[in-house]
A and B are shown apart, each in its own frame.
Chain A
Amino acid sequence: MENIIRIENLIFDYPREEGKDVLRAIKGISLDIEKGSFTAVIGRNGSGKSTLAKLLNGLYVPTEGVIYVENWDTADDNHVWDVRQTAGMVFQNPDNQLVSSIVEDDVAFGPENIGTAPDEIRTRVNKALNDVRMGEYRLKAPHMLSGGQKQRVAIAGVLAMKPKCIIFDEPTAMLDPKGRHDVLRIIKNLNAEGITTILITHFMDEAVQADRVLIINDGEIILDGNPAEVFSHADEIKDAGLDVPVAVELAVRLRKRGIKIPDDVITVEDMVDFICQYK
């Protein structure tokens, strides 16, 4: 498969503040993201995962190393708009990323910025809002919506720019369980439609739904693989200050008691199935 994002020896330092040492947030990451894949990035607070997201979108420029998004160098000023159009970004706080007082105008903001023709904007806005099932709210004001609905509008705003890849930077961290569920379902639908998805999260039950899981600790990738592989290293994950999914935790403990549980049992559903069929 073709790679949409290539990261080579990436290092990123936050600029030096008075009297402080340079803060090195990313300490040498090399990584390829396949077109159409669904990658979850997990790490605790301060591990560098949000920094990585902002680097992918060209909001930050690498201190060392290169990031290519569809063969465009994110540090190249001539292509920064191409990069941001290709790799859209949804942020954590649903309130602070909506620009307009009307839902549909907000969705139109991105396409307007890149100079899309008015008729085309209208079509894209309607489609994007329907894709996130917010069509009936198109004339509402964002502050009348729930957190999950606002986040869906934010996703529509990115979709209207027709990105090939969307980076979700902890999109569900500030939502209630219902909102989380809705947003996650939309993320999965979009991925199924062929949009490359990078989901940054600290919810393990979200990560197990991805094709690939990356665990980042202290600016480095410590584990990389499909969810079953990654979560089989439960001890290393815990050392990085993270929890493992409930089902994995249970599996680890059951294995200690001598029950043979296959490695690919990582979701609650898998576990329920396994236990029901266990003889």
Chain B
Amino acid sequence: MMIKAAMVLIALLVVCSFGRAWALTVEANPEKIPITIGYHGTTITIRGKGLNAPDIIIQIHSKLGEEHLKYKGKAGGIFWMKLGNIVFEDVPKVYLVYSTRDMHNILPQEACRQLSIGYDALRDKVRIKTKMKDLDRDKWILEFLKFMEEDQLYDEEDGVVHIDKENHTFSIEVNWPFEAPPGDYQVQAFAVENGQVIDKAQTSIKVERVGLIRQLTHMAFEKPALYGIIALVVAIVAGFGVGMVFKGGGSH
């Protein structure tokens, strides 16, 4: 009898917890971003409903991978130049984090780390591979974040997610960077109350090459000899063609 009651209780808890998870929804518009010849990034609207919390954190990221970079330093104590390779492991290529207020006031650092939210969590998890002597981990992670922000691929901003308390909805317009490579991206929404995540939801964005861009990329990687010959023919024809046009001008 006791066992049965316990099982019913567990089942109820599971249903309740699923129920809560489903209460919050999030959607991205557009969900598919086509990379066409005139592509220069786009604006994505992230919105959701079923919000019963005062704060929300939106996190967009690609899957974790490696970033192979060069580090600069002083050679011979005089010249600044690239001195060697440095690899950052377990980092996303794109990482955008937005919140209603200062993240540290919404959610304690420890919770951010546990749930892998924000730069602090990233700092803990990233691994560095390099032959650099006396590696200062904190310094180079900071440099990495600076480098990725410069390329518009990383961003952490407070006070940019708007909440409509009456309708229990939230929204944000994200300037999607054209530097973000094709691929699948996760969009996560976390509802936060009293320093705890009380609900979460997720959706995805797909960035893909289409049309001419897709065909050229395919040819460059799958038929490189043909691609190289076409590049040369175009250049030679253009060069001689313009030469002919100028001759037609009759200046000689």
> A and B from one assembly?
no
- Chain A residues with CB under 8 Å of chain B are none
